[in-house]
């Protein structure tokens, strides 16, 4: 029994076994934080169709690939991408070793807490912040830095841990898909090595299923020990057209379902839903100013404009956080 | 039962369940094409140590990552890398549309069957062959081209399908590791999109577990349909220092076991065996001129020199194909 117990808590075995054992009990509790509207119906219809053997829409488990954007889709991206908050915190942490930053942009503005000043330094300033905060250490060191930070860093408005600012309905959706034999990937514009240290604990998504933007690394020996050093050079931007490119490179299969919230996810949904057979494309619309934040067509972060226009003709589901979700954050 | 039957043949569930059911029966048949020498003992000792709960060497299933080189490790790489044979065949297939190739190197030499002439064109010539044979189509088209070719292409000496020129002892090793909860990846200098179309059928390794060299792709619309176009630009060379880089990027975990046959695998083994805890590095030595090909320190393909020198001090296992393997190819 101990042996069985061990496997019971690991990976696909657990998912498959749980499904066999738990199906009757589950059906009454399906996606409990989703209201009984069109969005939930579309999800359940899709999953039922692709998992029903003999159905013309049936998809074998090996091809049940689902991809999820992270920022704004699985967790909050307002008022600032979490990774940017991490970068700014890290600049402040490192400032003691860099007295020259007191008089040099963009660091001067970061240290003064002047976000307008930071933004005024443009892409070049952002690249400098990224290089100073994210590179020059080994991948393993960066992993520890990111894990340590996320363990205590808190959202500026709610005061909650960032890892609590995740969407309960999406956790339920991840779980529902897993129980139906889906392989789930994060496909995010965020940094791959920023997300991997905590994505498994927070979402149940292991490092090898996290795809994101990356910088180049170089294999070298340091004191005789091999390390992968993080270089200040972009390897891949996993946003817009970069999402299908990243999916194809990492997975080598076209997803049958894709979930996002902004125009940065447009091509991922387009690529996914252009494939043959039954597909699902879904966009989360941040329209709940009371329980979260309302933003879409003109937002600097998570802009959703073209997606809103074209979703109907493309058959994509638009989820209203306000009306489709009975709960936003976990208890 | 039908439902259980379905899962029985998929992924980790199958591996874990088979292990529970089949262990007693298996033990007499363990790695049957491996002789009872030090190499087999080292493999079995390692697997037993990392899978025995309570052992100080125990590794949970999620961290049982094993990486395998392909050319010369899982299948034959002599007298020519299979992918190069594919490229040359494709140049011959396309020559009708390129009359100018009759007078232009390196194509002239390819069409004349003059390998010395091809080699004389150097890296630049090889890049042109690669570009002409591997780029300019979509990823999906390339996948079909590679799959169609490998379905009928035959080894120049044995006359057998290339997919039959795989090593039976390594198939048994893949199976043994899978049954012990390992996640197996190919990490090859070969092209990622060349291997993915057939690696699952031949080795049981799905597309998402194949890592290799890659060219850049670009997402674009062709007749309104999205495609990923293969561009004549290198994205990643998955050889030597590139192997740990690729492993870290794709998997985000350090393997605990790595298998190769040439100095192109040196850094992958170094990276793997430098980690904490019990590790396994293994190199296959092609020393069987009778049943396969004998080559090592001076070979242009699959050179194994530094690896032979340093294996003893690094604790890496050297497998003699001649004495450690009772059979080379499948029946």
- Residues of chain A with Cβ-Cβ distance to B62 below 8 Å are 10-11, 206
Query: pLDDT class for B28, splitting at 50, 70, 90?
Result: low
| Residue B191, beta-bridge partner list | B213
Does residue A100 share a domain with residue A72? no
Give the chain A residue whose CA is nearest to the CA of B61.
A10
Q: Name the average pLDDT for chain B.
A: 92
In this structure, chain B runs to a length of 331
Identify the domain containing residue A201 by its residue range: 33-78+165-324
The pLDDT value recorded for residue A29 is: 81
Last residue within a domain, chosen from A131, A152, A173? A152
CA angle B311, B291, B205 (to 5 degrees): 65
In this complex, do B267 and A241 lie within 8 Å of one another by their Cβ atoms?
Answer: no
- Name the E strands within chain B: 65-68, 183-191, 210-222, 225-236, 257-260, 280-285, 317-320
CB contact under 8 A, A252 and B207: yes
B175 and B51 co-located in one domain = yes
pLDDT the model gives residue B26:
46
Report the residue of chain B nearest A7, measured CA to CA.
B16
The residue of chain B with its CA nearest to that of A199 is B252
pLDDT for the residue A2: 38
Answer whether residue B46 is part of any domain: yes
CA B258 from centroid of its chain's CA atoms: 12
Partner-chain contact B192 A241, CB within 8 Å: no
d(CA A45, CA A54): 15
Report yes or no on B11 lying in a domain. Answer: no
Look at the block and give the residue holding tokens 């961290």.
B63
Asked, for residue B28, whether it belongs to a domain, the answer is yes
For β-strands A183-191 and A317-320, DSSP reports them as: unpaired
CB-count exposure of residue B313 (10 Å: 0-12, 13-18, 19+): exposed
Q: Residue B29 — very low, low, confident or very high, per pLDDT cuts 50/70/90? A: confident
Interface test with B, best of A16, A217, A244 (most B CBs within 10 A): A16
CB atoms near residue A179 (< 10 Å): 19
Q: Residue A260 falls within a domain, yes or no?
A: yes
CB contact under 8 A, B192 and A249: yes
Torsion of CA A143, A149, A151, A152, to 10 degrees: 180
Beta strands in A57-167 (DSSP E): 65-68
Residues 151-210 of B with CB under 8 A from A: 181, 183, 192-193, 196, 206-208, 210
Q: Are B260 and B200 in a shared domain?
A: yes
Asked if B105 and B68 sit in the same domain, the reply is no
Instruction: Assess whether A178 and A247 both reside in one domain.
Output: yes
pLDDT confidence bin for A28, thresholds 50/70/90: low
CA angle A328/A68/A280 to nearest 5° reads 95
Q: Flag whether residue A238 sits within 8 Å of chain B, measured between CB atoms.
A: no
Residue A2 in domain: no
Judged against a pLDDT cut of 60, whether residue A136 lies above it is answered with: yes
Other Cβ atoms within 10 Å of B153 Cβ, number: 15
Within a domain: residue A129? Answer: yes
Contact A62 B245 (CB under 8 A): no
pLDDT tens for residues B103-125?
A: 999 999 999 999 899 989 998 99
Q: Tell me the sheet residues that pair with B225.
A: B222
The answer to whether B229 and B138 are in contact (CB under 8 A) is yes
Q: Do B13 and A16 touch (CB under 8 A)?
A: yes
- Check whether B133 has a pLDDT greater than 90: yes
Q: Answer whether residue B221 is part of any domain.
A: no
Query: Quick check: B226 and A219 CB within 8 A?
Result: no
- Same domain? For A112 and A206 the reply is no
pLDDT at A85: 96
Q: Do B29 and B145 form a contact (C-beta atoms < 8 A)?
A: no
Residue A237 backbone phi and psi in degrees, to 5: -100, 110
**Mean predicted confidence (pLDDT) in A296-304:** 96
Residue B325 contacts residue B34 (beta carbons within 8 Å): yes
User: B199, B166 in Cβ contact below 8 A?
Assistant: no
Option in B17, B139, B245 nearest A228 (CB)? B245
Domains held by chain B: number: 2
Is the domain of B117 the same as that of B180?
Answer: no
- Binning chain B into helix, strand and coil, the percentages to the nearest 5 are 50, 20, 30
A249 contact residues in B (CB cutoff 8 A): 192, 214, 217, 235
Domain boundary among A152, A179, A197: A152
Distance separating alpha carbons of residues A128 and B257, to the nearest angstrom: 38
What are the tens digits of pLDDT across the range A225-239?
999 999 999 999 999
Closest residue on chain A to B217 (Cα): A245
Residue among B249, B245, B187 at smallest CA distance from B212: B187
pLDDT in tens, B197-238: 999 999 999 999 999 999 999 999 999 999 999 999 999 999
Are A6 and B53 inside 8 Å of each other by CB? yes
Whether omega for the bond prior to residue B79 falls within 30 degrees of 0, making it cis, is yes
Tell me which range, A111-125, B12-26, B137-151, is most confidently predicted by mean pLDDT: B137-151
Verify whether the Cβ–Cβ distance A219 to B271 is below 8 Å.
yes
| Residue B100 sits in the same domain as residue B24 | no
Q: Is A330 on the interface with B (CB under 8 A)?
A: no
> Out of A13, A208, A267, whose CB is closest to B219?
A267
For residues B117 and B26, membership in a common domain is answered with no
Per the domain annotation, does B15 fall within a domain? no
- Using a CB–CB cutoff of 8 Å, tell me whether B245 touches chain A: yes
Q: What is the pLDDT of residues B262-311, one digit of tens each?
A: 999 999 999 999 999 999 999 999 999 999 999 999 999 999 999 999 99
Contacts of B267 in chain A (CB under 8 A): 219, 226
Among candidate residues B168, B184, B169, B173, the one with its CA nearest the CA of residue B46:
B173
Assigned token pair, A223: 């004191």
pLDDT the model gives residue B5: 37
Give a three-class secondary structure readout of B213-228.
EEEEEEEEEECCEEEE
Query: 32-61 in B: which are within 8 Å (CB) of A?
Result: 53, 60-61
How many percent of chain B have pLDDT more than 70? 92
* β-sheet bridge partners, residue A159: none
DSSP characters over A17-77? HHHHHHHHHHGGGSSTTB-SSHHHHHHHHHHHHHHSTTSTT---GGG-EEEE--BTTTB--
Residue B196: CATH number of its domain: 3.40.50.1000
CA–CA distance, A329 with A325 (Å, rounded to integer): 10
Mark which of A104, A124, A152 sits at the end of a domain: A152
Chain B residues with CB under 8 Å of A252 CB are: 192-193, 196, 207-208, 210
- In the predicted model, is pLDDT for residue A280 greater than 90? yes
CB pair distance less than 8 Å for B252 and A225: no
CA–CA distances in Å: residue A309 to residues A77, A120, A286, A297, A324: 22, 31, 15, 10, 19
Return the number of other C-beta atoms located less than 10 Å from residue A150's C-beta: 19
Residue pair A76/A321 in contact (Cβ under 8 Å)? The answer is no
Contacts A253 to B, Cβ<8 Å: 207-208
ipTM field: 0.90
CB atoms within 10 A of CB A27: 8
Any B CB within 8 A of A251 CB: yes
Q: What is the pLDDT of residue A66?
A: 99
* Cβ contact, residue pair B244, A7, below 8 Å: no
Examine the pLDDT at A4 and tell me if it is beyond 50: no
Provide the percentage of residues in chain B whose pLDDT is more than 90: 90
Find the closest chain A residue to B229 by CA distance.
Answer: A245
Is the same domain home to B187 and B91? no
Whether B164 and B251 share a structural domain: yes
Distance from CA of A80 to the nearest CA of B (A): 26
Do B201 and B65 belong to one domain?
A: yes
Cα–Cα distance for residue pair A95/A213, rounded to 1 Å? 26
């Amino acid at each position: 029994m101990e042996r069985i117990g061990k496997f019971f808590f690991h990976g696909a075995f657990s998912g498959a076994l749980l499904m066999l054992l738990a199906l009757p009990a589950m059906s009454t509790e399906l996606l409990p934080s989703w209201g009984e509207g069109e969005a939930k119906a579309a999800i359940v219809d899709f999953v039922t169709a692709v998992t029903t053997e003999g159905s013309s829409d049936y998809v074998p488990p090996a091809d049940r690939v689902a991809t999820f954007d992270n920022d704004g889709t699985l967790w909050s991206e307002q008022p600032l991408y979490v990774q940017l908050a991490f970068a700014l915190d890290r600049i402040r942490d490192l400032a003691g070793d860099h007295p020259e930053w007191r008089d040099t942009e963009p660091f001067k503005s970061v240290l003064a807490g002047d976000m307008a000043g930071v933004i005024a330094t443009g892409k070049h300033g952002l690249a400098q912040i990224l290089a100073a905060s994210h590179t020059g250490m080994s991948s393993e060191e960066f992993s520890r830095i990111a894990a340590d930070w996320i363990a205590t860093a808190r959202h500026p408005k709610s005061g909650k841990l960032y890892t609590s600012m995740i969407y309960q309905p999406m956790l339920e959706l991840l779980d529902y898909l897993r129980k139906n034999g889906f392989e789930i990937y994060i496909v995010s514009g965020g940094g791959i090595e920023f997300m991997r240290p905590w994505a498994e604990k927070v979402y149940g998504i292991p490092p090898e299923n996290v795809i994101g933007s990356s910088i180049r690394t170089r294999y070298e020996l340091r004191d005789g020990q091999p390390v992968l050093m993080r270089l200040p050079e972009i390897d891949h931007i996993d946003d817009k057209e970069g999402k299908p490119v990243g999916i194809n490179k990492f997975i080598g299969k076209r997803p049958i379902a894709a979930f996002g919230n902004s125009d940065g996810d447009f091509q991922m949904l387009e690529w996914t839903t252009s494939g043959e057979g039954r597909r699902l494309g879904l966009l989360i619309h941040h329209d709940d100013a009371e329980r979260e934040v309302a933003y879409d067509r003109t937002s600097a972060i998570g802009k959703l404009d073209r997606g809103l226009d074209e979703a109907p003709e493309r058959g994509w589901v638009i989820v209203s956080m306000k009306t489709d979700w009975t709960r936003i954050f976990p208890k």
